[in-house]
Amino acid sequence: MIYTGGTIGMRKDIQTGALVPFDFSRLIDQIPELQLIDKKIDTVSFENPIDSSNIQPRHWQLLADIIAENYDNYDGFVILHGSDTMAYTASALSFMLENLSKPVILTGSQLPIGDLRTDAKENIITSIQIAGSYNGEKPIVPEVGIYFEFKLLRGNRTVKASSEHFNAFDAPNYLPLAQSGVDLKFFRDRILNPPDGIFNVQKNLVENIIVLKIHPALTKDYLSYIINIPKLKAIILETYGSGNAPTEPWFIDLLQSVVTKKGIHLINITQCQRGSISPEKYETGRKLMAIGTFDGKDMTTEAALTKMMYLLGKKLSKKAVKSAFERPIRGEMTI
Ligand code: ASP
């Protein structure tokens, strides 16, 4: 169990009243139930636990290192993480942990572990059970998941959907991998098969990527400014509906120059909460396609961003990046 911080282990600062992370040993003391689990649990903590709003790619690299160093010695891994950016971390890890064939389950809570009404205990205990669920020699969930409020979701399909409900996460385009009720029920046909290759970690992530939401007040000046950011490698365009954007000449010309003159990758995903892009449907999507935008299908923003960070880190040819981006490599998109 790896503790990174988040509400789960926070306490109220006496002076300000704000929630701040506290150290891990005090968190463990709050869950005597852990002694009752018939698994041997070792724990490791970030030296300085963080509110997950402070997460950075270097933290993902640290998590990947911890998992790699301990990979052969454990049946599975549980990462305690703040909910704000859990979907980004889960998505990033799903790509970085190549040929993963053990469970890596992220969880956290909406109320601190010390709160009488906390949701933390059930989340932690069931996550540990999922991470340790095997069918003989085979782990039942050989992939990165998020367990929260009775549901196990595929990590790279997940978004934080509520800031107030215990049921904080949603996987808008993929059904849950497991449901916890009286029984812990796994939906095996939705879970990835373990890959054949040897486990490997790819830590090289390219960070010069922008997420740009298209909106009616987007101006030429603003777009020109963005595309001229030095060293920019990719722009994830959150487009309207099924992958549509304005067809005004200044808009199309600027984006065209991004691809042809600057060699920046343009990715098309929808800003809708559910569903996929189908840019061929409307003229407004076809113009984007003609520019050479990558088809993000039904990927979440979190998955599209971290997948590009990962693929660009591989230093592939432009064509290879596009073809890898447009097909599912960890179950992150529907084709
Ligand atoms: N701000 C907190 C965090 O993401 C929220 C949470 O843990 O739920 O670290």
CATH classification (class only), 2-201: alpha beta
Contact 49 CB / ligand 1 (< 6 Å):
no
Q: Which residue has the higher pLDDT, 15 or 162?
A: 162
Q: Would you list the domain boundaries of the chain?
A: 2-201, 209-325
Asked whether the predicted pLDDT for residue 175 surpasses 80, the reply is yes
Q: Which CATH architecture has domain 209-325?
A: 3-Layer(aba) Sandwich (3.40)
Does residue 155 contact residue 176 with C-beta atoms inside 8 Å?
no
Catalytic: 306? no
Provide mean pLDDT across the span 75-102. Answer: 98
Asked whether the predicted pLDDT for residue 301 surpasses 90, the reply is yes
Contact 52 CB / ligand 1 (< 6 Å):
yes
pLDDT in tens, 250-265: 999 999 999 988 899 9
Asked whether the predicted pLDDT for residue 34 surpasses 90, the reply is no
At 31 the pLDDT is 84
At 271 the pLDDT is 98
Angstrom distance (rounded) from CA 307 to CA 95: 7
Does residue 330 contact residue 293 with C-beta atoms inside 8 Å?
no
Q: How many CB atoms lie within 10 A of CB 30?
A: 17
At 59 the pLDDT is 98
Categorize the per-residue pLDDT at 21 as very low, low, confident or very high, splitting at 50, 70 and 90.
confident
Q: How far is the CA of 108 from the centre of ligand 1 (A)?
A: 8
Nearest CA to ligand 1 atom 8: 83
Q: How far is the CA of 52 from the centre of ligand 1 (A)?
A: 6
Categorize the per-residue pLDDT at 236 as very low, low, confident or very high, splitting at 50, 70 and 90.
very high
Atom index in ligand 1 nearest the CA of residue 50 equals 9
Does residue 271 contact residue 213 with C-beta atoms inside 8 Å?
yes
pLDDT in tens, 198-229: 999 999 999 999 999 999 999 999 999 999 99
Same topology between domain 2-201 and domain 209-325: yes
